[in-house]
Amino acid sequence: MRDVAAGFKYLMRGQRWVVRHGKQFGFGLIPGLITLVLYAAALVALALWGTDFVSWATPFADDWSSPWLGLFRGFLTAVLFALALLLSVVTFTAVTLVLGQPFYESLSEKVDRDVSPDGTAPESGLPLWRELLISARDSLRIVARALVWGVLLFALGFIPFVGQTVVPVIGFFVTGFFLTEELTAVALQRRGVVLRDRLTMLRSRRTLVWGFGTPLGLAFLVPFVAVFLMPGAVAGATLMARDLLGEETREENSADGDPANPVHPVHPVGPANPAGPTNPTGPVSW
């Protein structure tokens, strides 16, 4: 439970950071607004034509008598829309981070400089086009993993009682994990930590990850909330990434830049880069 509380604390610290830095908050809203419009259009289209799609996909049920035909296709339509919501929550972050890579890279670097004892931030040393390419490639890999989980949970949703109780809970924990991976990737990629090593690091602290990502995933189900929480989520994920790697961080109450507050090393909440040392200024491994 301590790790869960610690994960949630990172999320709150990130939101407080962007509130104190209003310019960065407004800057970070732009990619989310663009993605929200695209996803809203897709979900509206699914709501309008989802029933037609289910009817087309289940021709074997055309001769079923009433009310079984309506109940069967109505259930499938509801499950299809629920699956679309789950995938939209998972992929919203990935798509927003790809579209807003320059925005969130800048925000994450400013968080690093603000809380770093020496006021510096790690840099990848890569050109922007290559950073975008690596981010898009890693996001596609995460989305593919999320789709596998989504299909599995969709199939388990047909199990009576379990499909309506246990499966949705598992779905939110899965969503929370992948959300956290996408968000911490902004800071970890600049440090040369590749996707495989990021996943290993996060799996070693699942409860911490769930404490950060699961409440965020639940909040993302509320319209427009995802847009307003994204800047703070990136900031909080940057703080968590620093501590996962055992980097020194100033006291939280010195994040506003008060030099009177002392600098102290933060004890890492997980293994410091389990895959070994990284090269924060060198090329990222493909």
For residue range 181-233, list pLDDT tens digits in order.
Answer: 989 998 998 898 989 999 999 999 999 999 999 999 888 777 678 788 989 99
User: Which range among 26-30, 60-64, 160-164, 281-285 shows the weakest confidence by mean pLDDT?
Assistant: 281-285
CA 256, CA 18: separation in Å to the nearest integer? Answer: 11
Cα–Cα separations (whole angstroms), residue 177 to 90, 93, 200, 213:
9, 12, 12, 6
Cα–Cα separations (whole angstroms), residue 147 to 140, 176, 178:
10, 14, 11
What DSSP state is assigned to residue 248?
A: -
Q: Judge whether residue 254 has pLDDT over 60.
A: no
Q: State if pTM tops 0.75.
A: no
Q: Mean pLDDT, to the nearest integer, of 28-38?
A: 86
Q: What is the pLDDT of residue 211?
A: 94
* DSSP state string for 143-182: HHHHHHHHHHHHHHTTSTTHHHHHHHHHHHHHHHHHHHHH
Residues 17, 235: contact at Cβ < 8 Å?
Answer: yes
Helix, strand, coil % over all residues of the chain, rounded to 5: 75, 0, 25
Q: Judge whether residue 27 has pLDDT over 80.
A: no
Q: Judge whether residue 283 has pLDDT over 50.
A: no
Q: Which residues, in sequence order, are CB contacts of 228 under 8 Å at separation 6+?
A: 29, 32
In the numeric block, the tokens 């939209």 are attached to 88
Could you read off the pLDDT of 112-163 as tens digits, one per residue? 999 988 888 888 777 777 877 887 888 788 878 888 888 888 788 778 887 7
Could you read off the pLDDT of 78-122 as tens digits, one per residue? 888 888 877 777 677 778 877 887 888 889 999 999 998 888 888
What DSSP state is assigned to residue 263?
A: E
Which of 233, 225, 272 lies closest to 88 in space, CA to CA?
A: 225
Q: Judge whether residue 34 has pLDDT over 50.
A: yes
Cα–Cα separations (whole angstroms), residue 174 to 35, 90, 197, 260:
22, 9, 18, 42
In the numeric block, the tokens 């299809």 are attached to 80
Residues 108, 238: contact at Cβ < 8 Å?
Answer: yes
